[in-house]
Amino acid sequence: MKHLFPLSMKLWLLSAVFTITLSLTESVMVCYYGSWAVYRHGQGKFDVEDIDPGICTHIIFGFAGLSTETFEIKVLDPYNELCDNWGKCGYNRFTGLKQKNANLKALLAVGGWNEGSRSYSKMAADPAKRKAFIDSSISLLKEHHFDGLDMDWEYPTQRGGAPEDKANFVVLLRELKESLMAHGMILTAAVSAGKDTIDAAYDIPGMAQHLDLLNLMAYDMHGAWEPYTHHQSGLYAYPADTGDNAYLNVDFAVNYWINGGMPSSKIALGVPLYGRCWSLDSPVDHGYYAPANQPGRPGSFTNSPGFMGYNEICVKVEREGWIVGMVHGMQEPYTYHIPTGRIWCSYDNPSSVITKAEYAREHGLAGMMVWSIETDDFHGACHSRPFHLTKTMEETFMGSELTQPPTLPTEPITTHDPDRPTTPAPGTPAPDERCQTLGINPDPDDCTHYWLCSLDGNGGYMVTEQHCPPGTLFNPLAKICDWPESVCSLGTHYCPRNC
């Protein structure tokens, strides 16, 4: 039977097809923002206004979480992210960046490594819990003018998940997509590049039906959790790689996702704006697979052993004489410095991000993604312009220099609770046993959790307890849940009960 559509419906369908076709042919530059960077000190501190909205097509705020009681979306740092009780209105200021770039999409990421998987597994398995999560997500996104949701469940079936997660994740995505589309919003997801995780966690054809964009986390393939050095984001396999290590490279991951059923035009290739670092066992063995049983010393900004932002590494190379090497046949550099704890770091530099952007373009990918914008050289300390890595890979992918984006008419951005009188915020209360200051506070006696402290409106603190996922500990310097070996390597005066 022939189906007849009214003219208005035909025009709508033609418009929709054109919009979809256009969105798949335009390049993307997805910029994740780790909001905890606001708590860093000195030149490492990075707040919402430090983001350059002109260099990204999508900015993603990391992270929101999931309530283990109601299964609604959860604001993880109310003081930093909301306006209530004289909070800092991070969400509103973040989406307000769209006024400086009329084409910018601002999304909220939910999940992340710190959240684990157990509560997401329970939510995805239950229709009522899925509805609670989806309805609350739509409400939060609309309230703060986000353009969509980035689903960053790490990972279905893993880290406390269940075998049924693989199918339930597709159901969750389908229901999310339907609700988001009804409100003119988009759905993206951050996914693993590891073969074992992909096989266990993802129904690729099912996911492809519902995602507008897939952000491939093509990094953290190696790190100080292993007793030897390697590159965390190698484009191709190292010739000596055998066994599972032969799969731990960008090229394998990209082709595995595409061959599994994900359209290349929906994949944004993730590039790390940081390095993974080790302490070498021997000062004379500093190539790939060099014995290294301890994480490298923490960077002065990021304060996480085994990790340095590019903004920390490039200064070491430019000003402190760290040696840069590159293995024949590989595309990415590493750097090491024997006098400073025999540190060895694998990372990406301007040359390697050009190669990766060219690779992404040649393979028909949607564009590039970075984790995360606040560890690029955002002050321009090492280059002639700030955000040099991000700008370089976008220009390479597009084949042209960046141009100034169109702006929107200036509109007032809510930076306070509109239900409160416009009176000055009360002074910070005196420190107590849980809250030394507003925001994130460690528990000196137990690093399995931390406290989130905001003003209660009555001269005191409102305290929320946040647990780190199993297998991690709270790093009191970096203010993140971190690998136990990284936290314990900080020294015996940190987390003595847990180390």
The DSSP-derived string for 159-222 is: TT--TTHHHHHHHHHHHHHHHHHHTT-EEEEEEE--HHHHHHH--HHHHHHH-SEEEEE---SS
User: What is the pLDDT at residue 23?
Assistant: 41
User: What is the pLDDT at residue 491?
Assistant: 84
User: What is the pLDDT at residue 424?
Assistant: 63
CA 363 to chain centre: 23
Helix (H) or strand (E) holding 442: strand 439-442
- Full set of structural domains in the chain with CATH: 22-272+348-398 (3.20.20.80), 439-488 (no CATH)
Dist CA 270 CA 221 (whole Å): 12
Judge contact between 13 and 31, C-beta under 8 A. no
Alpha-carbon Rg for the chain in angstroms: 23
Q: What is the DSSP letter of 478?
A: T
User: Which candidate in 115, 154, 312, 394 is catalytic?
Assistant: 154
In the residue annotation, 154 being an active-site residue is answered as yes
How does pLDDT run along the chain (499 residues), one tens digit per residue?
333 333 333 333 333 333 333 344 489 999 999 999 999 999 999 999 999 999 999 999 999 999 999 999 999 999 999 999 889 999 999 999 999 999 999 999 999 998 999 999 999 999 999 999 999 999 999 999 999 999 999 999 999 999 999 999 999 999 999 999 999 999 999 999 999 999 999 999 999 999 999 999 999 999 999 999 999 999 999 999 999 999 999 999 999 999 999 999 999 999 999 999 999 999 999 999 999 999 999 999 999 999 999 999 999 999 999 999 999 889 999 999 999 999 999 999 999 999 999 999 999 999 999 999 999 999 999 999 999 999 999 999 999 888 888 998 877 777 665 555 555 667 789 999 999 999 899 999 999 999 999 888 888 999 989 899 888 899 999 989 988 988 998 887 889 899 9
Please name the amino acid found at residue 401. E
pTM above 0.95, yes or no: no
Return the sign of the alpha-carbon dihedral for residues 230, 366, 374, 418. negative
Contacts of 131 (CB under 8 A, 6+ apart): 175
